[in-house]
Structure 1
Amino acid sequence: MRALLYILESHPSQTQQAVMLSIRRILWPTDFSKGADRAFPHAAALASWHEAELHVLHVTEGRSGNAPDADIPIPKSTLSSLLSGDGDPPPHVDLDALTLVQEQREHRSPPEAIVGYVEEQEIDLIVAGTRGRRGLQRLLIGSVAEEVLRTAPCPVLTVRGAADRAPAWAVRNILVPVDFSDASLEALRHAKELALTYGAQITLLHAVEEVIYPSAYGVEPANLPGPQVIERVEGSLAELVQAEVGHEHATVEAKVGYAPSTILDYAEMNEVDLVVIATHGRTGFERMLLGSVAERVLRRAPVPVFTVPSFGKSLLPASDDS
């Protein structure tokens, strides 16, 4: 493990003028479940800190006995109670000052409706829960969450229905899995700006996967990853920090293991508050490698996951968008 001492100690209240991500419109899709409710403080905080519109979308698949007794628009009093779901509301978030856009639509496919709304309204970021209602009205995980993740043309922040380690505004440690692809470098650049937003430190993690061949291949165990490989990988990660991160407190780690398990274990054991990961997205061959890793991490991550697609919209300012 190698620590690079570029440190930024701050808090969202102190960094609002330094926020660099270009976020003008945030979408919070809801099915009125507790899982969806859990995501609202994250959406409201980011909308407030970026002075962005907050769009609220409820998609129904037609009337059903499982449909919740709720409707759009959601009263401000209800949203205010959701904002305090973690105990205390995020600092410097005033619902009355937010530009709220609320809409209800009926569609046979909630994922298609959500992505269609994103494209129609030019949404920059989706913030959604990962534990929704069962049956027709369920939102996320599995069919809806993963389909949105695969096809949305913008980053997606997913928030677990269970309690996270940190409330919406208290992100202090950001984990960025890096496989040295262009997509993972784009995720790292987004993580850098999120670190400015939250006043957080960043850890770059690369999983060195063991490749064990059949004995007929004649490959000796000595060819498996060893300390020298780990040291070289950490050196490459350190170079990335110098080139792409620069001024935050950043740590680099290389671990031997299956990528999804390595990422999840590290997040569980090291007080990670947010995972920022790339997805190669779309369908077919492009979903292999890091894209499928992102979906596996989404299913089991103990903390919110910010996914950055390799296609579509970047939230980076023009000078950083490459």
Structure 2
Amino acid sequence: MEINKILWASDGSMESDMALKYVELLASKYGSEIVGLSVVQPVDIERLKVPVDVKKELFSIQALLEKKEYNRINKALKQLELKATKLDVCIETGIPHKEILRVAKEEKVDLIAMGKRGLGLKDRILLGSNTNKVLRMANAPVLAVRHKKGDKIDIKKILVPTDLSELTSISLDFAIDIANRFNSTIYLLHTLELHHSYEISTSKIIEELRVLALKELRSYLNKIPKEKTKGINIQEMVTLYLRAWFGIVNFAEENGIDLIIMTTHGRKGLVRFMLGSTAEKVISESPCPVLTIKP
């Protein structure tokens, strides 16, 4: 698996600046080309019923905004000259998520990296509308990054949530490739979603469920060719929560996970514009970057 070209979609936020640090990290290992994209939302000047001189001024302001964005993206990418094989600046005018998807397709990128926008109460990052739409509609994998204090980042612990379906192989293959390059540990996690009725169940029944799930996880791993996972530490984990997304996020927080890799939806078939509810919740609440892959 290769990441030959990365699209960094930037809106100037702290989250998108943090996304660039992960782009730099990945490009240093994969030798990737980087395309830096900023989308300037247009003013429909032609429809405005204003004097010609005012229209000219508005055109001038639009041009200045585009130039300002070009300089900002170019300055940021210049710092990555030694890490990437090629750097390109792309400034577009239009609706952000549509331009991101169009450029990603035209440039044939292997990864889209962007920030999660919107800072709510208690420092909770909410999924921004543009990021949400890109996640739902992109064919390329998408790396959604939240702002993080400090400059030091690495990918030493990778979490791969699984519902034990065949779709797990997609995210696990990606995780194995990254783990090989970063010497990472992979945590293959299955979260048993417990119904409220389990509250009156015996601990013996719950333990039996956990053991069965762990056995299925190990059976799945045993089917993977040994040469593929040679030298990689893969740990099978089973947790029990009322909601799978909460179990995934909680595991990431408690174990200092650096990156979560998951498909946009699982075997339940909840496709809702190609982003299932579990994936959407994990992306929104995760303390670390989440890389989603469309099956």
Same-fold status (TM-score > 0.5)? yes
Structure-2 separation of matches of 1:228 and 1:237: 14
Give the TM-score normalised by the residue count of structure 2: 0.79
Q: CA deviation at 1:188?
A: 1.2
1:218-257, CA deviations, whole angstroms, 9 ceiling, x for partnerless residues? xx84699611110111111122233336321111111111
Alignment of 1:171-182 (within 5 A): 171-182=155-166
Alignment of 1:99-248 (within 5 A): 99-107=86-94, 109-131=95-117, 141-163=127-149, 167-168=152-153, 170-212=154-196, 221=201, 226-244=206-224, 246-247=229-230, 248=232
Counterpart contact for 1:27–1:55, Cα < 8 Å: yes
Alignment of 1:1-322 (within 5 A): 21-62=1-42, 70-74=68-72, 77-79=75-77, 94-95=82-83, 98-107=85-94, 109-131=95-117, 141-163=127-149, 167-168=152-153, 170-212=154-196, 221=201, 226-244=206-224, 246-247=229-230, 248-257=232-241, 258-280=243-265, 285-287=270-272, 291-310=276-295
Choose between structure 1 and 2: higher helix proportion.
Answer: 2
Structure-1 separation of matches of 2:254 and 2:155: 16
Residues 187/226 of structure 1: CA separation in 2 closer, same or farther (3 Å cut): same
Q: Which moved more, 1:178-187 or 1:25-34?
A: 178-187
Counterpart contact for 2:244–2:278, Cα < 8 Å: yes
Structure-2 separation of matches of 1:289 and 1:68: 32
Q: Percent identity?
A: 29
Q: CA deviation at 1:121?
A: 1.3
Residues 262/289 of structure 1: CA separation in 2 closer, same or farther (3 Å cut): farther
Counterpart position of 1:216: none
Residues 288/151 of structure 1: CA separation in 2 closer, same or farther (3 Å cut): closer
The gaps in structure 1 that reach 5 residues or longer are: 1-20, 84-92, 135-139, 214-219, 311-322
Alignment root-mean-square deviation, CA: 3.2
Q: CA deviation at 1:46?
A: 1.6
Structure 2 residue identity aligned to 1:261:
F
The gaps in structure 2 that reach 5 residues or longer are: 44-57, 121-125
Counterpart contact for 2:158–2:257, Cα < 8 Å: yes
Q: How many residues align?
A: 264
Give the TM-score normalised by the residue count of structure 1: 0.72
Q: CA deviation at 1:291?
A: 2.2
Secondary structure in 1 matching 2:287: coil
